[in-house]
Chain A
Amino acid sequence: MAEIQNYTMNFGPQHPAAHGVLRLVLEMDGETVVRADPHVGLLHRATEKLAESKPYNHNIGYLDRLDYMSMMCNEHAYVRAIEQLLGIEPPPRAQYIRTMFDELTRFSNHLLWIASCGIDLGAMTVFLYAFREREMIMDMYEGVSGARMHAAYYRPGGVYRDLPDAMPKYKETRWTKGKDLKRRNEWREGSMLDFIEAFAADVDSKIDEYETLLTNNRIWKQRTVGIGVVSPDKAMQMGFSGVMLRGSGVEWDLRKKQPYAMYDQVDFDVPVGVSGDCYDRYLCRVEEMRQSAKIILQCVDWLKKHPGHVMLKNFKVIPPTREEMKDDMEALIHHFKLFTEGYCVPEGETYAAVEAPKGEFGCYLVSDGANKPFRAHFRAPGFAHLSSMNELAQGHMLADTVAIISTLDLVFGEVDR
């Protein structure tokens, strides 16, 4: 019999299941993966280097563009690092808003994940369902910051502005009118908090819809159960965090273990997997969505009862309002200084981590006392996850690598930075 040699094939960078720009070089023995070698860096934009030449606040916009599926969580890590170096603490209302938007972000990230993972493994419908809800979260982003994706909403010392009193409504068109229009605008009659409350209260039933499609689906289970198993020790050793770690049964969530913002004030559970395969990671993410909704409702409740400032009153870091500028010389000077020079951060180094939807997103910031960071390094969860690709994919079939890549929940904006 003729000897068949292993052959190499390219998976990506243009493959739809490569989630962006992953080039995966696979060494195949028939249809079995012998070695997987991911080539990353196709989306490398040198964010960390750019950050060294910009005043601290200018860099917030870059953070949105790292993991462009969980924008505000990235901002949160960076803003927290600056706050730690400056030694300032935002007011509680800002902290609650941050907690709420972190969870909305987690929700929208998991929605996109479940949608794209479904498509990768041949389930089209869930994509349409998930984007229906995601659109509303985009509306919330837009309502609060003016941008659907790249919000730049968190600032050192708080958040850019308070939640709006009204939500934009749908206008009548040839296709949406009458009863249909009324139904679409039903939640949008009140303030933004009312809208978020209505959304979060209703969303459990929506998650049930996704679960009907997937959880007991025979094909879905065949594609995910027992695929890409990671043992708890391996997960820790390979630098995993977030769902990748919890799916393997390690009980670790920064929101519980090293709480930040207002996570120690809200009540929620952390789902933990058992076998560490793709299916467990799916279950963990679905349960996390339900828990996010629970946290959001608690935050809405608090925010409705406690109006107040959302920004610190500290002109050395936070610019004064336009009104203050008009009749106060001091405020005008501060405004000018902040917008021409920025603020100087005391010499030192810090590391601030948040539990981003994909895992631990950290920001290591070194300051030499200047108005720009001396070195900023962002610890992206996806980078560590992808580096384990070879170990995860070895011995699996080609089609299973798609399931593995998919449940790693990669976004190349943050892997390549």
Chain B
Amino acid sequence: MSETAKAISDLFTERFGERVTVGDTQSGITTVEIEVDAWQEVCRALRDEEDFNFEQLTDLCGVDYLSFGQSEWDTEDASQEGFGRGVESLGPGRFDWASRPEAGDMKQRFGVVVHLLSFRHNRRLRIRCFAPDEGMPIVPTLVEIWSSANWYEREAFDLFGIVFEGHPDLRRIMTDYGFTGHPFRKDFPLIGNVAVRYDELKGRIVYEPVEIEPRVTVPRVLRDDSRYKSDEVDQAADARAEEIAAAQGEDKDG
């Protein structure tokens, strides 16, 4: 699989030049980032051209990269004082609507990730583009190229608020009729904020703020100590072994 991955990355740079960035390969699937202006054009080529021939769009989904790589619980200098019992920091999804974090001026917040499949070459490919605007992320649609993109784009629009320009029928799909907001965004709270009940005195259904408080049972922890970096440790060890060998060789020469 790695050979095909290499071949496909060469193929991309040759054919599309600077409009695409070939990323790394994980389990035989290469990630390719495509500029949003070239999104439709490159995809059409991916479907039609002999070398690529991706007949099927298997999957399309939105990703919100807000808070990527952020911990809820600092573990670096905790050894002196021990961990606190509760988690003070308000990670995404653990706050009420009024105190939701401002997204700030994050340039590349919303991504659209597409998985393609070529039956002919038995090959998969992951392509991604970032929606340019923070206020209203807009990406051209792929419905005309692969009709299976239709519902997937509706889903990404519903859950992330990514607008697909040129989509024939961009309605909400998962959430309720008349829903507001885009629930899968990272700044959308995970818990509900209003409860519904029937009030006998008023004789109608009332909406009230919930009494429960958001809490984190298992905090989000990022660890980058050496146990999780076996590759790098191995490489470092190899490099050291080589150094030592080289040093010994020099000693012999000397």
Contact = CB atoms under 8 A, between A and B. Distances in A.
Interface of A: 40-41, 44, 46, 48-50, 52-55, 58, 84-85, 87, 236-239, 241, 250, 252, 257-258, 316, 340-342, 344, 346-353, 360, 362, 364, 366, 368-372, 374-375, 377, 379, 383-384, 386-387, 416-417
Q: Chain B's interface: helix, strand, loop or mixed, by majority?
A: loop
B218 A54 contact: yes
16 contacts: A44-B175, A46-B184, A84-B26, A236-B55, A236-B56, A237-B146, A238-B147, A250-B119, A252-B119, A316-B227, A344-B222, A351-B59, A368-B69, A369-B223, A372-B220, A416-B174
B27 A369 contact: no
Contacts of B147: 237-239
Interface in B118-138: 119, 122, 124, 126
B222 A368 contact: yes
Interface string B132-162: 0000000000000011101110010000000
Contacts of B55: 236-237
Contacts of A257: 122
Interface residues of B, number: 50
Given A238-B147, A374-B68, A362 B228 contact: no
B71 interface: yes
Nearest to A236: B55
A346 B115 contact: no
- Lowest 4 CB-CB distances: which A-B pairs, in order? A239-B148, A387-B151, A41-B174, A379-B59
Contact of A364 (B61, B183, B224): B61
Interface of B: 24, 26-27, 29, 31, 55-59, 61, 63-64, 68-69, 71, 93-94, 113, 115, 119, 122, 124, 126, 146-148, 150-152, 155, 172-176, 183-184, 190, 218-224, 227-230
Contacts of A369: 69, 222-224, 228
Contacts of B57: 239
Contacts of B113: 364, 377
A319 B29 CA distance: 30
A85 B146 CA distance: 29
B174 to A, nearest CB: 4
A344 B152 CA distance: 30
A348 B27 CA distance: 11
Given A237-B56, A362-B58, A379-B58, A371 B148 contact: no
